[in-house]
Structure 1
Amino acid sequence: MFDIRDKVFLITGSSRGIGRAIAERAAEAGARVVISSRKQDACDAVAEGIRANGGQAISQAANVGRKEDLQALVDRTVAEWGGVDALVCNAAVNPHYGPLETIQDGAWDKIMNANVRSNLWLANMVMPGMAERGGGSVIILSSVAGLRGCEGIGAYGISKAADIGLTKTLAVQWGPRNLRVNAICPGVIKTDFAQALWDNPEIAEPSIRATALKRLGEPDDIAGVALFLASPAARYVTGASIVADGGMTVTIPM
């Protein structure tokens, strides 16, 4: 039920952090993975490491804010490996920290375009081909920030809430063609992207205390969820938002 051998995974934002962990673990399980982020050299380094360990990987740089870059990424994947079985929309940005009243229009547009619109673009590029192949899985990386109000990263949280809505709508529209769409909502994960939330002990400790498992997450903690959602074991799971936060959102401080 968990066999993903020879499945083609296209993963954005996969040169580091959660995306890289998903790519490396999928390759270890026998999948063929496409590494993508903004910088080609960073993509190449991850793909080379996977191949050195006996895995199958190709790399293609793409800026998710550019539709032509994403189309080239999809076209390369189809040309190399015939199609996509699992699309993982992981790339995201957050150029603004602070209340919504201080956000500039440019920062708002950048967050929404990179975190939401790019996922819609990719879905529309990939899902018709998935349907022709008989089915597939789309996984959108949301966040627990999309499930609750946020003080410092409110705009980012709004974009992640929108991703949950996008997940549900795509699941309904594509379900009749055997396509599944799900979101993962990580808590605080120790990545470069979230470094400000865990690198400083004064900031990290309250998060640790508020987490049932009493630790912050690692990228592999999310990779396992993604591999499950892409596998036949999740064949009846669609439209879901799976929270992987160590119990942060269910813990009530006393």
Structure 2
Amino acid sequence: MTSQFHGKVALVTGAASGIGRASALAFAREGARVVVADIQVAGGEETAQMITSMGGEALFIKADISKAAEVEELIRQTVTHYGRLDFAHNNAAVEGIIAPTADYPEDDWDRTITTNLKGTWLCMKYEIRQMLQQGGGAIVNTASVVGLVGAPGLPAYCAAKGGVVQLTKAAAIEYAKAGIRINAVCPGSIYTPMLERLLAQPGVEASALATLPIGRIGTPEEVAGAVVWLCSAAASYVIGHLMVVDGGLVAQ
């Protein structure tokens, strides 16, 4: 445990597993009090317990980021409990099904866009309002490399993450002078429950590895390190940046 974020409060959505859990733990190691948010109660409570077990302070709040009332309540409870909100990692997302664009089911399209894009916007909406009252803060959204380059079979996910990329840029410009720094991480292939579901498809893992110059799939901790850095004082002049964490994929 260090004291870089001593006295600060961090909110992480989708923190029941994967990148969100790694991010929540990373914020705690830097001394922040952490609000763990997810729709998965067991996993979210486990993440919070992991933080308290290592000497940190955490609060789990169940929230569906696709619903405005639940997001507003999430921020209200965060501020009621801890008094402020300094950092937010908007990470919660769903991958949707794998299907080509012309065959993609409308209901799954709506669910993916609503959760990944609208949900990120809703989180930012209420986080920014709180940070404006405080005089500043830092937000990191989880976009994706497929928000920068295409991926066959994931049209809704690509569209949503591309939207997160542009949403991040727009909001970063709007609130830079208000002391709110907004950036995004763009993970590539990272071992998470979401990726594991995709890798279960025949031939997908071998295909993914073949595209990675580094020759391996990344870890959630490697993305969490980027998130924490973007929130730190070391990144004080970094605004509207898309930090790619992908083992070299988009450099090709």
| Kept in 2: contact 1:134–1:178 (CA 8 A) | yes
What corresponds to 2:209 in structure 1?
208
Q: Deviations over 1:44-73 (max 9, x none)?
A: 221112101101100000111221111111
Structure 2 unaligned blocks of 5 or more:
none
- Output the TM-score relative to the length of structure 2: 0.95
Instruction: Tell me, yes or no, if the aligned pair for 1:112 and 1:159 is still in contact at 8 Å.
Output: yes
Give the 3 Å change call, closer, same or farther, for CA 142–69 of structure 1 in structure 2.
same
Contact 2:96–2:156, Cα closer than 8 Å, also in 1: no
Aligned match of 1:60:
61
Alignment partners' CA distance in 1, 2:237 and 2:123? 23
Give the structure 2 partner of residue 109 of structure 1: 110
Is 1:135 matched with 2:136? Answer: yes
Shift of 1:143: 0.4
> Which residue of 1 is the match for residue 40 of structure 2?
39
Aligned-partner residue type, residue 34 of structure 1: V
**1:177-203 superposed Cα distances (whole Å, 9 cap, x missing partner):** 011111110000011011134457832
Q: Secondary structure at the match of 1:3?
A: coil
The one-letter code sitting in structure 1 at the alignment partner of 2:203 is E
Q: Is the 8 A contact 2:181 2:239 kept in 1?
A: yes
1:9 maps to which residue? 10
- 2:152 corresponding residue in structure 1: 151
TM-score (norm 1): 0.94
Superposition pairs of residues 1-254 of structure 1, within 5 angstroms: 3-198=4-199, 202-251=203-252
Does the CA-based 8 Å contact 1:19-1:90 persist in structure 2? yes
Letter in 2 for 1:124: K
Alpha-carbon deviation of 1:146? 0.7
Counterparts of 1:155 and 1:175, CA distance in 2: 30
Secondary structure of the residue aligned to 1:249 is helix
Any conservation in 1 of the 2:96–2:154 contact (CA below 8 Å)? Answer: no
Structure 1, unmatched stretches of 5+, are: none
Distance 1:178 1:148 in 2: 31
**Would you say how many aligned residue pairs link Structure 1 and Structure 2?**
250
